Amino acid sequence: MSPAFVLEVQTSREEEELVESHEYHDGVKHLCERGLAKVPRKYILPALERPFMSKKDGATNLKLPVIDLAKLQGPDRVHTLKSLSKACEEYGFFQLINHGIASESVLNMFQAARKFFELPFEERSKYMSKDQSAPVRYGTSFNQNKDSVFCWRDFLKLSCHPLSDVLPNWPSSPAELRQAVVNYSKETKSLYLMLVKAVLESLGVVEKAENADENDSCDHLKEFEDGSQLIVANFYPSCPEPDLTLGMPPHSDYGFLTLLLPDEEVKGLQIQHEGRWVTVEPIPNSFVVNVGDHLEIFSNGRYSSVLHRVLVNPFKSRMSIASFREFYWIHGVSRTQEQELPGV
């Protein structure tokens, strides 16, 4: 028996054991910790769905339109709202600079999440749950109950509403995690409201601040003040064969707007733009903001909830923090119900 053949037989036995033991449900990081030279079959996409199938895909990096929150809140508001509108129509994405969130909050959030993923597997696994509605969920892939091919991603999902109820369920280790998430979630909530107000104004749903009848304008916004918030820390370990798999498959986000803090050092987010996949160049100290399905529907299709996906790489792990908000009054609306929604 040639050595290559022996290796082949061993590999397929390991593969079988992996599938039989359902060990891939324990997460990619856990698999990688045992040392992997190849991507196990469970993570290998069919040839046509792999990331570098077309020559034009990923060949260019994309600088997203930049929206300056300081300008949005100042005398340049009208002009900035036009840029916001154009970005939401043409890209479904923009980068938000001068967002006003203390860099310390962002740093603490990243550090706490990173420390969580560095905990021993036994500690992390306490928070594993297949229940999609659990207030705390450590898990893997995109939808691990349904995915036939798994993605190269582990995550920690923390539901933040109502804070006093959910907080005792959040991981107690690392010690600084709870405080870091509370601070970050409070800060992003007010940022979120500023952005929602700008988006509504750009769509003509609420009037410009100076013309608006205060109460009328506030009524619309009140509907946006309540709602659930979900913070998701994504962890993408480095991958020995990044052309065979994806960190996240092509998807659009479900909610109204997503605020994403991408890893500043490691690229990976790609968006579908003008018929091809382009890699987003993150700008330091900024958020990547994208239109979700609810906003696409709310705007009657004027703003696009654009498909995006995540590449992995052989050199470095990657982390991102996404925050999603949903509003109860729009809950249950899906793309297929678009026609039933009243116009805006």
Binding-site size for ligand OGA (CB under 6 A) equals 12
CA 139/CA 150 separation, integer angstroms: 12
Pick from 108, 159, 202, 320: which binds ligand OGA (CB under 6 A)?
A: 320
Given its phi and psi angles, is residue 16 left (phi above 0), alpha (psi -120 to 50 degrees) or beta?
Answer: alpha
Least distance CB 164 / Ni ion (angstroms):
28
| Torsion of the alpha carbons at 330, 331, 334 and 339, rounded to the nearest 10 | -30
Pick from 310, 311, 312, 330: which binds ligand OGA (CB under 6 A)?
A: 310
The Cα-based distances of 344 to 101, 195, 200, 251, 341 in angstroms read 31, 17, 10, 25, 9
Please, which of residues 208-227 interact with ligand OGA by CB under 6 A? none
Q: Which amino acid is at 257?
A: L
Which residues on adjacent β-strands are paired with residue 46?
Answer: none
**295 lies in the site for ligand OGA, by CB under 6 A:** no
Binding-site size for Ni ion (CB under 5 A) equals 1
Window of 105-113, 158-166, 171-179, 253-261 that interacts with Ni ion by CB under 5 A: 253-261
Window of 2-10, 181-189, 216-224, 260-268 that interacts with ligand OGA by CB under 6 A: 260-268
**137 lies in the site for ligand OGA, by CB under 6 A:** no
Residues of the chain by 3-state class (helix, strand, coil), percent to 5: 40, 20, 40
**306 lies in the site for ligand OGA, by CB under 6 A:** no
Pick from 26, 253, 293, 296: which binds Ni ion (CB under 5 A)?
A: 253
**151 lies in the site for ligand OGA, by CB under 6 A:** no
Residue with the CB atom nearest Ni ion in the bound state: 253
Pick from 39, 158, 198, 232: which binds ligand OGA (CB under 6 A)?
A: 232
- With beta carbons less than 8 A apart as the criterion, state whether 138 and 23 touch: no
Window of 20-28, 57-65, 95-103, 252-260 that interacts with Ni ion by CB under 5 A: 252-260
**308 lies in the site for ligand OGA, by CB under 6 A:** yes
Q: What is the DSSP string of 12-57?
A: HHHHHHHHHHTGGGG-HHHHHHT--SS--GGGPPPGGGSTT-STTT
* Binding at 141: pick from ligand OGA, Ni ion, none (beta carbon under 5-8 Å per type): none
* Binding at 234: pick from Ni ion, ligand OGA, none (beta carbon under 5-8 Å per type): ligand OGA
Per-residue DSSP letter, 343: P
Pick from 269, 271, 306, 312: which binds ligand OGA (CB under 6 A)?
A: 269
CA 34/CA 36 separation, integer angstroms: 7
**248 lies in the site for ligand OGA, by CB under 6 A:** yes
CA 3/CA 257 separation, integer angstroms: 54
